[in-house]
């Protein structure tokens, strides 16, 4: 099975409206709710791809109950650890006139030392049957900032490959624990390294400890810097829609490719096709199957011209 970790799980709420009018009254035409947070989005896509997936992290309060009820219908095994505080909500407001999305993210519940210890026990038990683990997203209050470094070291001790997808100080510290793959986006790489040139920044991130770095470049696809080479993958055309969760689908593509031992170009093709297909889907953690199948054979993967 594949294990995903979402320490700051959320109930994702998507509002769709004809046009967003700031400072005015907006009438919502469609509302959807999904279990969310980066790792849960990854888990749902992996389950849709046919991989047995277990999701752990924290969930609490009425929001946590709602997201767990929704998770039960996704094919993902729920191993979330209860907390006393209420899980956060994230609200995406989709302006259908422009295609733009405005995102509102709550901070999440404060995790107590006892709740943290309970999670660590669950995590170590789950590693025993895992083929790979994804450590994803932001940290709720009360969780130590070096948490992803600790979880990476525990997974490596258990012989389980690690994909790290976070930002800021948790990313910097997590890289030092030598994850098998880090998946930042271009902005996160720039904040980490000070470089806005993706290849240079990805190489810098790899020198900081990651065995490989796959950088999301938004609508321009993905750049991978690995021990075996450097590749760039791009969709055949730009896809219009809601980009929320597109990076999480890319993580699912990379992680499934890792456990299936696919060559890097095939991993990138899958990741970019899934990411683009998610832009066409109504909510994060989903992808448009027809778009995915169409793009999978059309994603352009090239050896990076600056790889030498």
Q: How far apart are the first and last CA of the chain?
A: 37
Instruction: Pick the closest to residue 265 from 308, 306, 221 (CA basis).
Output: 221
For residue 95, what is the enclosing H or E element?
A: strand 88-95
CB distance 83 to 65 below 8 Å: no
CA distances from 182 to 92, 295, 301 (A): 26, 24, 19
Q: Label the pairing between strands 88-95 and 10-17.
A: parallel
Q: What is the distance between the alpha carbons of residues 106 and 9, in angstroms, rounded to a whole number?
A: 11
Other Cβ atoms within 10 Å of 194 Cβ, number: 10
How far is residue 148's CA from residue 129's CA, in Å, rounded to a whole number? 20
List phi, psi (to 5°) of 184.
-85, 165
Phi, psi of 136 (to 5 degrees): -130, 140
Q: Using alpha carbons, select from 227, 244, 236 the residue that is nearest to residue 279.
A: 244
- Is 303 a residue of the active site? no
Q: CA 283 to CA 181: how far, in whole Å? A: 26
Catalytic-labelled residue, pool 12, 95, 165, 248: 248
CA neighbours within 13 Å on the CB side: how many for 3? 25
Catalytic residues: 248
């Amino acid at each position: 099975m594949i294990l995903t970790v979402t320490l700051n799980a959320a109930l994702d709420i998507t509002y769709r409206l004809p046009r967003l009018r700031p400072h005015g009254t907006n009438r919502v035409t469609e509302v959807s709710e999904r279990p969310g947070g980066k790792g849960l989005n990854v888990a749902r896509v992996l389950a849709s791809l046919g991989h047995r997936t277990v999701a752990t992290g924290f969930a609490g309060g009425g929001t946590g109950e709602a997201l767990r009820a929704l998770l039960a219908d996704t094919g993902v095994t729920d191993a979330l650890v209860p907390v006393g505080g209420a899980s956060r909500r994230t609200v995406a407001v989709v302006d259908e006139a422009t295609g733009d999305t405005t995102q509102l993210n709550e901070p999440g519940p404060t995790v107590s030392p006892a709740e943290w210890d309970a999670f660590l026990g669950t995590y170590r038990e789950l590693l025993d049957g895992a083929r790979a683990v994804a450590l994803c997203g932001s940290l709720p209050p009360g969780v130590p900032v070096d948490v992803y470094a600790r979880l990476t070291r525990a997974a490596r001790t258990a012989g389980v490959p690690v994909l790290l997808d976070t930002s800021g100080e948790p990313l910097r510290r997590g890289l030092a624990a030598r994850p098998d793959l880090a998946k930042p986006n271009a902005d996160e790489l720039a904040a980490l390294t000070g470089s806005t040139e993706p290849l240079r920044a990805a190489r810098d991130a790899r020198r900081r400890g990651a065995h490989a770095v796959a950088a999301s470049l938004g609508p321009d696809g993905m750049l991978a810097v690995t021990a075996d080479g450097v590749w760039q993958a791009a969709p055949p055309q730009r896809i219009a829609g809601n980009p929320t969760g597109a990076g999480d689908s890319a993580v699912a593509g990379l992680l499934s490719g890792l456990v299936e031992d696919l060559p890097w170009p095939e991993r990138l093709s899958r990741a970019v096709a899934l990411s683009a297909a998610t832009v066409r889907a109504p909510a994060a953690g989903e992808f448009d199957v027809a778009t995915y199948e169409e793009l999978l054979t059309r994603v352009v993967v090239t050896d990076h011209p600056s790889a030498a």
